[in-house]
Structure 1
Amino acid sequence: MKNMNNDEMHMDHENMDMSSMSDMSGMHSGHMMMMHGGMMMDMGDLRKKFWISLVLAIPVFILSPFMGLHLPFQFQFPGSDWIVLILSSILYFYGGKPFFTGAKAELKERKPAMMMLIVMGISVAYIYSLYAFVMNNMVRSDQHIMDFFWELASLIVIMLLGHWIEMKSTMQAGSALDKISSLVADQVHLVKGDQIVETDINQVISGSVVEVKAGESIPLDGVVVSGTSYVNESLITGESKAVRKQKADKVVGGSINGEGTIRVQVTKTADEGYLSQISKLVSDAQNSKSKTQVLADKVSGWLFYAALSVGIIAFIYWLIFGSVSVALDRLVTVLVIACPHALGLAIPLVMSRSTSIAATNGLIIRDNQAIENSRHIDYVAMDKTGTLTEGKFTVNGLKSTSDKYSDTDILHFVAGLEQGSSHPIASGIMAKAKADQVDPQKFENVQAIKGYGMSGENSTQKYLLVNMKYLNEHEIKFDAKNVQPYLDKGNTVSYLVVDNKVIGFVALGDKVKKNSIEFIKELKQRNITPIMLTGDNKAAAINFAKQLGIDEFKAELLPEDKHQVIKDLELDGHRVMMVGDGINDAPSLASATIGVAIGAGTDVAIDSADVVLYNSDPHDIIKFLDLAKETYRKQVQNLWWGAGYNIIAIPLAAGVLAGIGFILSPAVGAIVMSLSTVIVSLNAMTLRKI
């Protein structure tokens, strides 16, 4: 279990396992697909469709005039019109299929947008060109009617190219999942008696033993049962230095084994382990929608109606003051240039890139809304133990305050109450008992007292291990002079109580994380107020606040008290980020403007937080703030690139400057639209690592 608050020590210390996550083996296939306009498109199929369409389009470009003009590389011969018709028809139905599928999905959802615009553009061009072909070749007419086969072919090819580029960019932006999945091999060396059997990683169950040879990645989370080696755990800690691993040490799947061979007993299967947790979080983050994305979707819908309206008005105007050919030309151009495909990808491309960068920098953005909310944060509230401090307690003092008991007796009782707990304080006490060779007392009915400590019973008496707040609330007298020297040094003190009398105490000390002080300084430089929320006694809180450079703190808090502090700050108009372990701090994490969980090991941490720091380094919050600022800037840029050009382009496409001889053709409209698509894709990829 991740760290918990020292003052809420002993509050339900049961380990909590992550619920089953996505199968690691499915991660590659999951990112070979991409959703466009409600349809699922395969990148391999799209690439193939583009190249075939390009081959079909080249003869059309050569044999069909561009806007009625014969370019130097173009020529015609008897029957060439039929070749153009056949190839263009294949292009329309084959190359246009992805857009028809997307438009159908949009209509089904009653949300016409980008795909509908594309379909309208190519359909108008194709249908009118059929009309022109019939009139020019089958009906005697003194006037040649210009067709749009050249524009149709160029539009479909450019659209497919734009889709392909965007999909490729999105897949590159989301490559963190592929990198995570590639950290472990598909096959493992499963130990069965005296034999080593090559087994699919998804077939390995908890409790199995696998062998990891020198230089191999550790396939699954587990515990070393034999062998000694040095393991590179940079995936988890961010530190590239190797960590010595021997019998009984925990190892994490994805870390790299050094020169030794070790055997590992698996504790979590492929869909439960650390890598699976992280990949699930990345996938969830990339699939979630922020308000900016919702706005982009709405703008796409508005643009559909705007383009349709302007197109119809332009068609009617040019039909009256021009000709049918000119009217259709303007209608097609308006519909082509207004295609909001770039707008639809503007936010997802940036967020996909952002979440990938975040994942390689020790943090997972679970809710994209946190990106936008981060711009307004003016308070960062933090749990102390395990967030700002290491959460690794050592016993600095243990004394009896009763003539009936020795110091060894006190350790005997205290260890008995804590031996079933995974709390950091319990670990410190058990380490002390082991070092002093003191066996824990066997208690019955051991229970956590929420916010105060632990209780247990033996055959004669009930024992309590509680904090000072419990003593005060139950009016249990105690001479504070005995513990003041320990409190002054920032120790956490727990009191052993029998029959409403304190018979002894244990003082344990924690230490500040190496990056916490710098983290607090950087928050202040950004005009963000740090506030420490702790259940510690006031003296210990003051001591740590001074070490950290924190001016505001609140001590002796229960979990519900922290929640109330967050609510009070927000009622006063502040935007608050709460940083905690995601277990006892779950209510505060959920209610804060942004909830940040230290560590990614429990269901509560995942369910309650918007951002997860899986390196447990508070300084990663600074990375998040920097990345969020840059991400938001890129989102705004892409919204303008994706839709802003339409403010000028749609009127031009309608022919407002026709009076001065400026005519925007459908093909040029397609180029302008696709250029904005490429710019959006490239701009998203310029979001750099932090």
Structure 2
Amino acid sequence: MHMHMDHGNMESHGHEDMSGMDHSMHMGNFKQKFWLSLILAIPIIFLSPMMGVDLPFQFTFPGSDWLVLILASILFFYGGQPFLSGAKIELKQKNPAMMTLISMGISVSYFYSVYAFIMNQLQPHEHVMDFFWELATLIVIMLLGHWIEMNAIANAGDALQKMAELLPDKVKRLNNDGSEEEIALQDVKENDRLIVRAGDKIPADGVIVKGSTSVDESMVTGESKTVTKNEHDNVIGGSVNGSGTVEIQVTGTGETGYLSKVMDMVKKAQTEKSKLETLSDRVAKWLFYIALIAGVAAFIIWWLVDKDLSIAFERMVTVFIIACPHALGLAIPLVIARSTSIAAKHGLLLKNRNALEQAKDIQYVMLDKTGTLTEGKFTVTGIEIISAKATKEESLKIIGALENNANHPLAIGIMNYLEENNISPYKVVNLQNISGVGISGIVNNQEVKIVNEKEVKRLQLPFKESIKTTYEAQGNTLSFLIINGILVAMIALGDSIKSESKAFISNLKQQEIVPVMLTGDNVSAAEAVANYLGITTFYGGLLPEDKEKIVQKYLDEGKQVMMVGDGINDAPSLVRATIGIAIGAGTDVAIDSADVVLTDSDPKDILRFLSLAKQTQRKMIQNLWWGAGYNLIAIPLAAGVLAPWGILLNPAVGAILMSLSTVIVAANALTLRIDN
């Protein structure tokens, strides 16, 4: 059987569609290319003039021009390869941008310089200016810019691979003769019977045919409560079995399983989420067309006026080379590097630079409840004494005795509470699991039980309904302590709201951003949290596909949506949203699906991200004006627009302006700050 989720046979998704970075980042190791290209470029810089002007540190020797040609040829084909490959893709997509502009600059520089070299060898007394110096510096600086950007932005992990890892590699199958055998997950077939013991991951979708247990489905569905499962109940592959051992009959494996469907949604969202054209790409596209038109026009006009092919050709080449300023290649990467450095100090990991550009337009923030607005773990929210049979502390010691050896989330929450309050549990003997009901045992020679409300009603043990009303409204799980047949206490466990969540929601509203809560929890639990936090729009009882559909609905209406979540069930929505933000304490799947990760799991960091994004956007625009503004002046002058008045851009002056704009761009990037 082909297993769609086979760990060793995962289809890798295309980060290009979701990362927001241009495709050049997939074309080789920029760090290695930069350093090797720098080694090749240094001799060229020392041995060849800058746009025909000999600099003080430059020198030549017999045969140095041949050395420059050889080194420049290696540099062009090796160091320039990512840009040439990128340009090929852009032109194939009929969308010329930064890669095409850079490729035009380095290609014209190289091939014209080879022509100049040949002409100078044939006619040594009629020197033709070459552009080897420009070729070398342009390639090295552009490689540096891309390396800086890649180094600043975290590489997106593979969310699909992380989903596959939720399932065990080996499972226990029950044969017809009653024997057990361990088999590989990919060998599981529908209708197989599998044994799932306490604490194991459930390997496939199925129906319980024997036994009962509690299952933690929060990692898959987002439901914060553990779910009691009895015979004939369905279980989901990837969820975690609690305290009971069960036999399940497999109903879904491979491509038919629930987890596989979530993976398909993530893959589809990654494919369909359009790759936004970045600011620098838009500027580069216009510069490419401007330079191409200006260069060709300059060639035609100069040839018609002077009838000198070499002068016309030189003017065109100068326009093409000047059109690709070094500053433009560094304008955005330097701001990104500065921005990611600042972000890291404030608990933000920026994985997609497009998120910085899109943040200014966000209108709605979709928030998962469990783990995002709440702590995402069960804690004791209250204990109510119903009978004088035992005090609060006595009751907790008895409850602790029963839950001490259990590993399900409720038991862990209870034991953590006891530890925090320095309460030591009693000892228990004859501990037994009561299927679908709870736990029983003997504590201090008394018969004690922890049971659910259904069992309390079956036993017809009286208690005031008002005791549980508030807890139920807040979505708590209730358990009841019975001592020698008498109902003594009720303990409530719930997912507590993060202390900073209320202020965060209020601040979002002040910025005229609408908070919307999406949760897999039941509607009553969702409503309680929403009312407390002041969220007017909320959706409860959602499956992953429901969350994604809601995000898509808002997007279809032209809204800009940010999704914040931490679970596997949030992954499709995180990918689908305009910006996906993962809580760092959440699952690897959510983190790998997101554009931004909050490493401190603090919702207020979203506000810092929005502030940083605004500052970053401003600096990007400023730098692009400095980088491209140079062209607006240099291209017409290089083409000879003012030649009739005796003004023609000297290549050396063009080089000085180019260097000046690069310095300004770098200095401006360093002034980026974030509002605390």
TM-score range, shorter chain: 0.5 to 0.7
Letter in 2 for 1:56: L
Contact 1:395 1:432 in 2 (8 A): no
Taking the aligned partners of 1:94 and 1:128, their CA distance within structure 2 comes to 16
Distance 1:44 1:591, change over 3 A: closer
Counterpart CA distance in 2 for 1:595 and 1:321 is 58
| Distance in 2 separating the partners of 1:146 and 1:543 | 82
Please list, as runs of the form range in 1=range in 2, the aligned pairs for 1:607-686 lying within 5 A after superposition: 607-686=592-671
SS at match of 2:512: coil
Cα shift at 1:526: 0.8
Match of 1:377 in 2: 362
Instruction: State the 1:618 CA deviation.
Output: 1.0
CA distance in 1, matches of 2:595, 2:64: 52
Residue of structure 1 equivalent to 2:105: 117
Conserved? CA contact 1:56–1:91, under 8 Å? yes
Q: What letter is aligned with 1:621?
A: I
Q: In structure 2, which of residues 375, 379, 398 is the aligned counterpart of residue 393 of structure 1? A: 379
Matches within 5 A, 1:443-592: 480-484=465-469, 486=471, 492-495=476-479, 505-508=490-493, 512-533=497-518, 548=533, 550-552=534-536, 554=538, 557-559=541-543, 566=551, 569-570=554-555, 573-583=558-568, 585-586=570-571, 588-592=573-577
Task: Find the residue that maps to 1:339 and give its secondary structure.
Answer: coil
1:427 aligns with 2:385: no
Tell me whether 1:597 sits opposite 2:582 in the alignment. yes
Aligned with 1:393: secondary structure?
strand
1:288-333 CA-partner distances (Å, limit 9, x unpaired): 996244x644764664565345434422332232123422331221
Q: Residue type matched to 1:366 in 2? A: K
Secondary structure at the counterpart of residue 595 of structure 1: strand
1:52 match: 43
| Residue 318 of structure 1, aligned match among 285, 293, 302 | 302
CA pair 438-394 structure 1, distance change in 2 beyond 3 A: farther
Secondary structure of 1:596's partner? strand
CA offsets 1:577-623 (integer angstroms, 9 cap, x no match)? 33333245445544444332222452233234332212111111111
Aligned residue for 1:616, secondary structure, equals coil
Structure 2: 5+ residue stretches without partners: 1-23, 90-99, 156-272, 442-448
SS at match of 1:148: coil
Q: Select which of 95, 99, 104 maps to 2:76.
A: 99
Conservation of the 8 A alpha-carbon contact between 1:176 and 1:356:
no
Letter in 1 for 2:123: M
What is the distance in 1 between the residues matched to 2:578 and 2:558?
11
How far has the Cα of 1:495 moved from its partner?
A: 4.9
1:655 is displaced (CA, Å) by 1.2
Secondary structure of 2:610's match?
Answer: helix
- In structure 1, what is the Cα distance between the partners aligned to 2:83 and 2:52? 34
CA offsets 1:558-592 (integer angstroms, 9 cap, x no match): 55566665556556554333333324544554444
SS at match of 2:672: coil
Tell me how far apart the structure 1 counterparts of residues 37 and 338 of structure 2 sit (CA, whole Å).
Answer: 22
CA–CA separation in structure 1 for the residues paired with 2:364 and 2:116 = 62
Superposition pairs for residues 215-234 of structure 1, below 5 Å?
A: none
Contact 2:378 2:493 in 1 (8 A): no
Q: 1:298 to 1:558 in 2, by over 3 A?
A: closer
Counterpart in the other structure of 1:147: 128
SS at match of 2:123: helix
Q: Tell me what 2:348 maps to.
A: 363
Corresponding residue number in structure 1 for 2:426: 437
Mean CA deviation greater in 388-397 or 406-415: 406-415
> In 2 relative to 1, CA 565–320 (structure 1 residues): closer, same or farther, beyond 3 Å?
closer
Contact 2:45 2:136 in 1 (8 A): yes
1:174 to 143, 152, 159: 152
Partners of 1:455 and 1:647 in 2: how far apart? 77
Structure 1 residues 368 and 103: CA distance shift in structure 2, 3 A: closer
Output the amino acid matched with 1:131. M
Q: Is the 8 A contact 1:39 1:102 kept in 2?
A: no
Cα deviation, 1:7-51, whole Å, max 9, x if unaligned, reads xxxxxxxxxxxxxxxxxxxxxxxxxxx979867454544444454
Query: For residues 358 and 585 of structure 1, what CA distance do their matches in structure 2 show?
Result: 23
In structure 1, runs of 5+ residues without a counterpart are 1-33, 138-144, 178-287, 447-453
Query: Structure 1: which amino acid aligns with 2:119?
Result: Y
- Shift of the 669–553 alpha-carbon distance from structure 1 to 2, 3 Å rule, reads same
TM-aligned CA distance change 1:37 to 1:176, over 3 Å: closer
Q: CA deviation at 1:115?
A: 3.3
Q: Write the letter of the residue equivalent to 1:135.
A: Q
Distance 1:482 1:39 in 2: 64
Counterpart-to-counterpart distance in 1, 2:296 and 2:537: 64
Could you tell me which amino acid in structure 1 is paired with residue 413 of structure 2? S
Distance 1:370 1:586, change over 3 A: same
Q: 3-state DSSP class of the match of 1:617?
A: coil
- Separation of aligned partners in 2, 1:479 and 1:45: 78
Could you tell me which residue of structure 2 aligns to residue 131 of structure 1?
119
What's the CA shift string for 1:76-115, capped at 9, x where partnerless? xxxx9xx678434433432564334344555556254413
- Counterpart of 2:338 in structure 1 is 353
Q: Which sits farther off after the overlay, 434-443 or 371-380? A: 434-443
Cα separation, 1, equivalents of 2:120 and 2:302 = 18
Percentage of identical aligned residues: 38
Q: Distance in 2 between matches of 1:438 and 1:385?
A: 34
CA deviation profile, 1:175-215 (whole Å, cap 9, x unmatched): 999xxxxxxxxxxxxxxxxxxxxxxxxxxxxxxxxxxxxxx
Q: Deviations over 1:408-455 (max 9, x none)?
A: 899978986896446377413664497442649856698xxxxxxx87
Counterparts of 2:595 and 2:81 in 1: how far apart (Å)?
35
Question: Structure 1 CA distance, aligned partners of 2:106 and 2:604?
Answer: 47
Question: What per-residue deviation string (whole Å, max 9, x for no partner) do you get for residues 115-137 of structure 1?
Answer: 34223124324523642563354
Instruction: Please report how far the alpha carbon of residue 683 of structure 1 lies from its aligned counterpart in structure 2 after TM superposition.
Output: 3.4
Query: What SS does the corresponding residue of 2:603 show, helix, strand or coil?
Result: coil
Secondary structure of 1:483's counterpart equals helix
Number of residue pairs matched by the alignment: 502
Cα gap change, 1:373 to 1:466, in 2 (>3 Å): farther
Q: Cα RMSD between the aligned structures?
A: 5.2
Tell me the equivalent position of 1:23: none
CA distance in structure 1 between the partners assigned to 2:612 and 2:403 by the alignment: 45
- 1:389 & 1:377 partners in 2: Cα distance? 23
Q: Work out the CA distance in 1 between the residues paired with 2:404 and 2:364.
A: 36
Q: TM-score, normalised by structure 2?
A: 0.59
